[in-house]
Every structure is written in C-alpha cells, then in structure tokens.
Structure 1
Amino acid sequence: MTDVRVMTGDDIDAVSAIRVRGWQSAYAGIVPQGYLDAMSAPEDAARRREWFAHDTGRVENLVSADGAEVTGWAAHGPYRGDDAEPGDGELYAIYVRPDRIGTGAGRALIGAVLARAADRGFPRLRLWVLADNARARRFYEKAGFVADGAEQQEDYDDVFLREVRYVRGASSDAAGEADASAS
C-alpha cells in the first residue's frame, strides 16, 4: 500500500538518493553520461538540508512511502515561467525509486500533487520534460497532461537538450482522475 505525505527533514537522505538514482536511470542515453556520473546523493542532500532550513512554504514536497520506506518524491509550487496565466502551478519534479516503477507509487504521487495543487488554488499545473524521455511523457499523458506546444533548451555539460511543456487543469477530484487514467 502506497501512502503519500508531506516530506520532512528526516526524509532528505532517502529523497536525495531517489532523485539521483532516478536521474541516472531515467536519463541514461539522453543526458550526457558524465553529467549523470557526477551526481551525488550526499551533495544533493546537503543542498536539500539548506533549502529545508530556509523553507518559506512556497514549494510543497511530498513523498510516497510503503510503510516506513520512502519510495518516491514530488515537488510542486507556483509556475516559474514568465508566460504563466494567473495562479498557474508547476510540477517541478517527480521521481520514484527505479526498482519501484510500475508499483503505483508514481500514480499515488501525481494524484496527490494534483489534488493538493487544486487545494492551493492553482487552476492549472504545468511541467517541463525532456522531449526524448518517452517513459515520462507517457506517464504524464496518462495522468491527463497534454503538450501545449512550448519548448525550451536546457544545457547539460554543453549539450543542449529540448524540453517540452505539458499542462493540465487541476481539480478537487484530480487524484481519482490520475489514478484511473494511469492504471
């Protein structure tokens, strides 16, 4: 059974390990290998502890857990782009431990993010995804997100990779919709 809850400081090491392993797994063959190899869970955890020490509540971090074991992490908050509609939110990140992909942890996280974003007053939720990340794009599409035509380039060790933006409306019954569409 996957539960979703607000992340605490005690989750930082697990979340950092999930983020780094998630990047190394999801982006292998897409992002330059040297960039992925240089990622460090302890360094990520140190940055995350600094962020937690100065948390303003603007970003909400959620974790999925199976009992006491953290299996995934997601973060959302206000949209950071200049072209946002009033009140737009953004899914900044969502990662599940690679060995837990397909177990429902991702569906539980995206459902909770959608419901909580609606509760926070975001009428829409946007996200950016690497264009070549087919697995993630399928996941988002099953959760009701659609590409809106916006693109940008991100620099990874002097290799520019194309990202596409997805959007979906947030609603109070979003958790059920995401669960049903992603199964």
Structure 2
Amino acid sequence: MTAADLLVREMTLDDCAAVAEVRVRGWQFAYAGLMPQAYLDAMSVQRDAARRRELFGRVTEFVAERAGAVVGWACHGPSRDRDVPPGEAELCARYAHPAHLSTGVGRALLDACAAGALRAGHSSMRLWVVEGNVRARRFYERAGFVADGAREPYEVGGATVPEVRYVRAPA
C-alpha cells in the first residue's frame, strides 16, 4: 500500500456508512487506554452512520479510497473556538482505518483539508488532539503543527480526557 494508490475526494452522502466504519474503528484503536474501554466497546457503526447522515454538509468532508474502499475520512470548517481570530479553520476530525495507518492516508487527508481551508480563505488551521495520543501528536508535529498552549477537558463515557490545541498556517 502506497500513497500512489490512494484517491482523496469530497465525501458524499452515500459514504456515510463507510465513514462510520472508519471513525468507529479509528476511535477504538487510537483511544484504547486513553478513554473508558466500555465506551469504546459500545460504539456502533450503525449509530455513527446515522449521525454522519444527520451532520452531512455542515463542514467540508473528504474520504480517502484505496481500491474503491473508503479507508480514511477527515473534515474541516471554521474554527469553533471563541478565543481565536476570525477566519481560522479547524481540522475537526481525521481518521484512517487502523489497517491503513502509516500508508499515507492521514497525510493525504490532512493535505486535502489544508488546501480546502486555504481555498476558503482561512488564515490558519487549528485542531484539538487528546493529550495522551502520542501517535497523533507526533503526526501533527511532523506536519508543522505546534501546540498553542490551549488545553481543555473532554468528557467521554464518564471520564475526563484532556485535549491540547495545535495550530499551523494552512500553506
């Protein structure tokens, strides 16, 4: 598997079930040991697919395909944070199916979101990442993101999971 055999395109409503599979498996892999296991085990692809359909069109979404199968998903939109200057973008989510980690999926999706944010006129891009997610933090740091000092709690499954915010010019 290489980045050369990857197609990144805008998500369609028909992709919701495949995106839900990527999101749920991505969460279960990435957050094992960082979030309550009972919460991760209870995640449902069907419920997530319904949620993807409900939220479709609110942000700019991309999928990564390999051999016709969706193997990754990412989305971006205007920053939701009140303490940042207007005009900044937020990478809301980025997940690759665990079987496709370290194959270029995450980078291709990040690049698509950064290019989309630039086209939309955003001056920079921010994202939130679970503080203990060392793999993701390393990925973002290699991609030019830096922690900006903001930190906030994220409540999930009855536990508080700290997140840190990163920023990068969309280049």
The offset of 1:50, in angstroms, is 2.0
Coordinate RMSD, CA, aligned = 0.9
Distance in 2 (CA, whole Å) between partners of 1:156 and 1:111 is: 29
Aligned residue-pair number: 167
Match of 1:145 in 2: 145
Letter in 1 for 2:43: M
Deviations 1:110-151 (A, max 9, x none): 111111111111111000000000000001011110000000
3-state SS of paired residue (1:164):
strand
TM-score normalized by the length of structure 2: 0.95
3-state SS of paired residue (1:93):
strand
Match of 2:98 in 1: 98
Q: In the alignment, is residue 45 of structure 1 matched against residue 71 of structure 2?
A: no
TM-score normalized by the length of structure 1: 0.89
Deviations 1:81-132 (A, max 9, x none): 1112120110000000000001111111111111111111111100000000
15, 18, 23: which is aligned to 2:22?
18
Q: In the alignment, is residue 123 of structure 1 matched against residue 123 of structure 2?
A: yes
Q: In the alignment, is residue 34 of structure 1 matched against residue 42 of structure 2?
A: no
Identity rate, percent = 53
Letter in 2 for 1:36: L
What 5-or-longer segments of structure 1 have no aligned partner?
Answer: 172-183
3-state SS of paired residue (2:83):
coil
Distance in 1 (CA, whole Å) between partners of 2:134 and 2:50 is: 31
Match of 1:170 in 2: 170
9, 34, 38: which is aligned to 1:5?
9
Distance in 1 (CA, whole Å) between partners of 2:53 and 2:159 is: 29
What 5-or-longer segments of structure 2 have no aligned partner?
Answer: none
Match of 2:74 in 1: 74
Match of 2:160 in 1: 160
The offset of 1:157, in angstroms, is 2.2
Letter in 2 for 1:48: R
The offset of 1:164, in angstroms, is 0.3
Distance in 2 (CA, whole Å) between partners of 1:86 and 1:80 is: 10
Deviations 1:55-94 (A, max 9, x none): 3xx4100001113111100010000011121201100000
